[in-house]
A and B are shown apart, each in its own frame.
Chain A
Amino acid sequence: DGGITQSPKYLFRKEGQNVTLSCEQNLNHDAMYWYRQDPGQGLRLIYYSQIVNDFQKGDIAEGYSVSREKKESFPLTVTSAQKNPTAFYLCASGLAGGNEQFFGPGTRLTVL
């Protein structure tokens, strides 16, 4: 099946621990994106990548890091520097050049 997968669906971590969220796509899309959604709010862009081995900060990149070593994969690390990491994290992909985006099912991160 073609699509975007995110794992895990739910993630619990203790405060002060780094955690990595997985995002994989088999749509042959060049561009990938990470968004954060807080309860009752819209989506805010964390990082995006238009091509392998290149990525740019979005609007709320502090406390997060990414890598783009493969076209299919764009993992997001939530570091201990992120002040309020509990949120719903959504990954998206699309063709390069700012075309239509498609979203994965999301990961709900809770930091205890």
Chain B
Amino acid sequence: GIQVEQSPPDLILQEGANSTLRCNFSDSVNNLQWFHQNPWGQLINLFYIPSGTKQNGRLSATTVATERYSLLYISSSQTTDSGVYFCAVLRTYKYIFGTGTRLKVLA
């Protein structure tokens, strides 16, 4: 089956720093989503981005479907950005999740 790999697995930043999270997938996909899981376990939708680039405030994402990767950019990080970031790719009605990037932003 399709493999979804995220890097880095762990990331520690000082408040105000920028970061780039990567999601690689091993086969063509129909869609891709980025989520933030907060400390209480809630999954929050960040981007629905099968291709192209989107921006929402300090966050932006780019998916290059032909090269099978997506990037999530976090600028001017805040402590509230801490948590786990997941990408999920869609294959025939099923979303397959990566193992996540655990981000900790220090004040």
Contacts and interface: CB of A to CB of B under 8 A. Distances in A.
Contacts of B33: 100-101
Contact of B95 (A41, A45, A106): A45
Interface residues of B, number: 22
Interface string B73-97: 0000000000000101010111111
B18 interface: no
Given A41-B99, A42-B100, A43-B86, A103 B93 contact: no
A50 interface: yes
Nearest to B48: A100
Given A42-B99, A43-B97, A98 B41 contact: no
Interface of B: 30-31, 33, 35, 40-43, 45, 48, 86, 88, 90, 92-100
Interface of A: 31, 33, 35, 37, 41-45, 48, 50, 56, 58, 88, 90, 92, 97-103, 105-106, 108
